[in-house]
Copies of this chain bind each other. A is one copy, B any other.
Amino acid sequence: MHIDTLIHARWIIPVEPTAVCHEYHSLAINDGKIIDLLPTVEAEQKYQATHVEHCLQHALIPGLINSHTHAAMTLMRGVADDLPLMDWLQNHIWPLESKWMSAAFVKDGTDLAIAEMIRGGTTCFNDMYFFPDITAQQAIRHGIRASVGLILIDFPTVWADNSDMYLEKGLALHDQMRHQPLITTPFAPHAPYTVSDEALQRMHTLADDLELPVHMHVHETQNEITQQLQQTGQRPLQRLQKLGLINPSFIAVHMTQLKDSEIKMFSEAGAHIVHCPESNLKLASGFCPVAKCLAAGINVALGTDGAASNNDLDMFGEMRTAALLGKGVAEDASAVPAMTALTMATLNGAKALGIEHITGSLQIGKAADVVAVNLDELETLPIYDPISHIVYAAGRQQVTDVWVAGKRLLKQRQLTTLDVADLKLKMTLWQGRLQERV
């Protein structure tokens, strides 16, 4: 049978079924989809391919899903560090945003983020930022999968004047993207402390009608909870539950402050958590009790948050931090093992975003979102267990090739859809502009 692409690999880690690592297997790709996963000896007999790739020192894994980003914030990478959340937001990030936010800012910042993500094996990102139309446009242009949040916040910005306008522009974008295979459009209300009940209620009705997920920062810091208790008499999760938002379409990011009863409620509701360990540490926001949440049956995905509070979009690093920190917080070295961390960064992300029928594992019928990681480097030798190395030893620079829906976006470390020299020039220009205020 003649197909588009056949990748022969030393190892294939499909993630579904879990904890499997095939040796000397091949992945057959046609029309952007995985059509077979079989021993290489059989693949050579069964398929002829236009493109045959030999990844004989590599592990193939599903493309990584960064389930919480503010992509364009790469432009503010390292602009202000070592500050608590509200000081960092109010005195550094928000003033810079209010001065510089524009379609051009989002375009160039998102391009840098997409380049960094592809180079690091990320094939899908779940974004929340201004000008989501630009984010979607750039994702499509560069061939990466994206869940582009329809931002909603109470205060006026250059993107919209009020919550009606945010929703209106969001709906227009949703409509526009309806037939784009790489793009989904969840609602993205910023946080409990920045969106009113009324706006959330209107959004909830729309989300229900259109069957869209809802992506929101929730219980990021103790301060958020204390303030909301004072203002509303309720903890944010209580309030969101009363509004009917805690359901299988809800994606709560951060969740560092959780009572056991809240974990139980959240699990029973079938809602999702996105854990952002490095951002939570950097802003000293608190520790998400990941092992407890997983044990309660909650689907926990993984995200980097924006590059201004991380300061990278490195999902290899994030898997490692999640696995390490999960053990430290649980006081149990067997908590969040390597396979769990890899699942959080792939399949669990797809589940949270409602696209697990499309991506998140190397299963026949899913899109060919595939990453090749070269393990034949001194830093990952010897090799007893490739899954362990992917999480605990490999660096993102060991990613050599990346495919999204069968299209190759990284070829032997070279980006195929972005111009690095042009990006570097643009970064020099933005640096000059933003530096005035640093």
Could you tell me which A residues sit within 8 Å of B by CB distance?
75, 77-79, 81-85, 88, 112, 115-116, 119-120, 278, 280-284, 286-287, 307, 310-312, 314, 317, 320-321, 323-325, 327-328, 330-335, 337-338, 376, 378-385, 388-389, 392-393, 395-397, 420, 423-424, 427-428, 430-431, 434-435, 438
Contact = CB atoms under 8 A, between A and B. Distances in A.
8 contacts: A77-B393, A82-B327, A116-B378, A282-B323, A282-B327, A317-B317, A381-B424, A383-B431
Q: Oligomeric state, in number of copies?
A: 2
A334 B389 CA distance: 32
A250 to B, nearest CB: 26
A388 B311 contact: yes
A77 to B, nearest CB: 6
A328 B281 contact: yes
Given A116-B379, A119-B379, A383-B431, A283 B333 contact: yes
A427 B381 contact: yes
Contact of A382 (B283, B328, B431): B431
A46 to B, nearest CB: 31
User: 10 tightest CB-CB pairs across the interface, nearest first?
Assistant: A382-B431, A281-B324, A82-B337, A284-B333, A311-B392, A78-B388, A281-B328, A381-B427, A84-B333, A397-B397
A102 B321 CA distance: 34
Contact of A393 (B75, B311, B333, B434): B311
A327 B277 CA distance: 12
Contacts of A376: 424
